[in-house]
Chain A
Amino acid sequence: MADTVLLMGLPNVGKSVIFNRLTGLNVHVANYVGTTVQLSSGRLRLDSRDFALVDVPGTYSLNASCEAEEVAVDILRCGTSRARSKTTGRGDGRGHDEASSDRPAAILFVVDATNLESSLYLLFQVLQYNIPVVVSLNRSDLSREKGYQIDAGRLSRELGVPVVPTVAVTGEGMGDLKTVLLQQAAASSGSSIQADSPVTWDRVEEVCLRVCTRVPHHSESRRARWGMMLTRPWPGLPLCGAIIGLVLLVVVGVGMGLRQFVLLPVFRTFLFPPLENLVNQTIPAGLLQNILIGEYGFLIKGIEWPFALVLPYIISFYIAMSVLEDSGYMPRLAVLLDGLFNRVGLKGSGIIPLMLGYGCAIPAILATRALQSKKERLIVTTMVCVAVPCISQTGAFIALLSARSIVVMLAVFLLGAVAMIAVAIVLNRFMPGNPPATLMEIPDLLIPQPDVLLKKVWVRIRLFVTDGALPMIIGVAIAASLYETGLMSALGELARPLVVSWLGLPTDAAVPLVLGILRRELAVLPLMEMDLTTLQLFVGAAVALFYVPCIAVIATLAREFNIRLAVMILIVTTVGAFLVGGIILRIGQLLM
């Protein structure tokens, strides 16, 4: 097994950015505390030696006062394997103090130059484990801007370990870091200077005074002023409304533009006609040809739906979301809205997984790990599963409704928002306990780096192609086969009482309900081919909105929580969807 190098430091100092730079992997990065919620490991090649670089979630200290700190302490004591088994609940939890064979070979400790004191406090605690350490003095560009100058050489002498200045987001200093890391990994022990004396804030402050000088003639940057403005209720709250409005506009506008003016024309002019010709010439008219290019033509819809209708919104959503994440706006949003969230048993930080949920529920559910209480995790997870449409489904709603009725489209999204709040109110009432009081750091406002941003969007597109488009194409193939073999009408007959009598939809609408289990947008897209009335559109869309989150989400729920919750969500969403759909139909019929 390769030797382990641990990547450690305070939360939100750029550890994951360095991890990505050194391993070539793409773990999620963002400008807020608690972005990394699981240990990721990647191969780090130094010269000809291979190491396993482990990205340890950031902590403020090693006092083991929360789960993340306990995990960090465990890893330092006995390597990653035992800590992993502990996080999954399978470890025996004993024998921490014996030096195990997979004790890390070295630690790459990331010091935040803009927050030297807290970084050094944690570093001093880490140094006590007597493991070779290399310090990456990161974000020195930002500290200079704030008016500090940190003497890296002096710091290195004070600590007794090598210090390499870096700017992770631009890649500055990564080469030096590798060289020094290789040298240190060969060493057998850590710093000789700091290991024994107890870690106190007084000692930390002394070191800071010795290595840090203030650069004169500094004025507050425009970025810092905006950062403050966005944090205060005035003008922060009105700006928050404006920013969310702008994000919606960008997501919908750019998505629709890409679809209407780029992807659809390209597909319909250059791809589909030759494809249809080819099939017409090579495959005799009949069942197989119909499955390929007929009404649910798997070659046509199987390409058009994922790549022309959904992909544009994946692109526009993740561009907007990445800007929000990397700029540091999300924690500001959390703080501005914290008081409102408190009323439904949540903290403002719950808004981060909720917003991620509008992209995809799976990362949202994982992100709830950063929430402090079990109650918050359960409430936010249920809100996302029941009432937050993922971006693929949103794209499908726009494709289905924007041309027919903007009012219905807005009503569907409003219905989702109301349901989300209702879920939170109900769960808060039935679950005991209040959320612990808010205590969070608000990071500096930063300008997102274009290359980091583009990479994030690219990762999302790739993930959509492998994990999203493929199941969708399979779904369309199933639909095409069902339709052309006549099985679909049989299925429709079976579901008639529910689909036709209760929901007032045509028998064909049984198909999206079956496919919707596979992928959320497949509960919507087949409705496009059915020539529905406006009321039927609203009913169909509402059912799809509340219907089962896709099968991958159910699996994630079972893994992150337990089977019971997964089954409960399955039942609540299915029953809820049909109930709401039927009620809307009856109210609609009364009004019309």
Chain B
Amino acid sequence: MAQVNDALIPAAAPAEFTGNCARIGQVSGEVSLDTLCAGQRARVQQMPQDSLLHCLGLRQGRSLRMIARQRFGGPVVVELDGRCVALGRSIARTISVTGTM
């Protein structure tokens, strides 16, 4: 269903300034998921083999969009397959992605 969903995602939201994420267009090579800015799209490269993560739609090769980086050190929220999932930063750090446009 991956192809179906890419088209579903609406135009990129404006990047939100949080001070510690890579800016749009600067993602090159593999980075960890928690460094994406809101609005950026990426594809999952490597991640832990975790049943719950897989069930929530996070699997290798999946494309996603960063929706929000919560304040106070809270989780990041990503959209996969039209559904939103909140991931604690410590989990997001274990997932490496490459930026896509």
Contacts and interface: CB of A to CB of B under 8 A. Distances in A.
A114 B83 contact: yes
A205 B68 contact: no
Nearest to B53: A439
B101 interface: no
Interface residues of B, number: 38
A335 B57 contact: no
A561 interface: no
Given A60-B56, A201-B59, A214 B8 contact: yes
B1 A228 contact: no
A216 B4 CA distance: 11
Given A65-B52, A114-B83, A214-B7, A339 B74 contact: yes
B15 to A, nearest CB: 12
B1 A61 contact: no
Interface residues of A, number: 46
A439 B77 contact: no
A210 to B, nearest CB: 10
A578 interface: no
Contacts of B82: 114, 146
A61 B53 CA distance: 11
B70 A336 contact: yes
Contacts of B84: 227, 231, 441-442
A441 B71 contact: no
B55 A118 contact: yes
A591 interface: no
Contacts of A61: 51-52, 55
Nearest to B85: A441
Contacts of A60: 51-52, 55-56
Contact of A231 (B7, B77, B89): B77
A118 B51 CA distance: 11
Contacts of A114: 82-83
Given A114-B82, A228-B67, 10 more contacts: A114-B83, A115-B81, A147-B8, A205-B2, A212-B4, A335-B74, A338-B70, A338-B88, A339-B75, A441-B85
Interface string B28-39: 000000000010
Residue of A115, A231, A232, A439 ringed by the most chain B CB atoms within 10 A = A439
- Closest 10 interchain pairs by CB? A339-B72, A437-B88, A339-B74, A60-B55, A438-B88, A442-B84, A232-B68, A338-B74, A339-B73, A335-B86
B51 A231 contact: no
Nearest to A349: B86
Contacts of A220: 10
A228 to B, nearest CB: 6
Interface string A85-118: 0000000000000000000000000000011111
19 contacts: A61-B55, A118-B55, A118-B56, A121-B55, A148-B4, A214-B4, A214-B7, A218-B8, A228-B67, A233-B68, A234-B16, A236-B68, A335-B70, A337-B74, A437-B87, A437-B88, A437-B91, A439-B52, A441-B56
Interface of B: 1-2, 4, 7-8, 10, 13, 16, 38, 51-57, 59, 67-75, 77, 81-91
A337 B68 CA distance: 13
B1 A116 contact: yes
A339 B52 CA distance: 22
A232 B16 contact: yes
A512 to B, nearest CB: 40
Contact of A440 (B8, B81, B86): B86
Given A214-B8, A228-B67, A205 B1 contact: yes
Nearest to B7: A214
A342 interface: yes
A440 B53 CA distance: 10
Contact of B91 (A115, A118, A209, A439): A439
Nearest to A440: B86
Contacts of A473: none
A418 B79 CA distance: 36
A237 interface: yes
Contacts of A342: 72-74
Interface in A305-349: 335-340, 342-343, 348
Nearest to B91: A437
A236 B90 CA distance: 23
A342 to B, nearest CB: 7
A208 interface: yes
Contacts of B88: 338, 437-439
Contacts of A439: 52-53, 56, 85-88, 91
Residue of B38, B68, B86, B87 ringed by the most chain A CB atoms within 10 A = B86
A348 B74 contact: yes
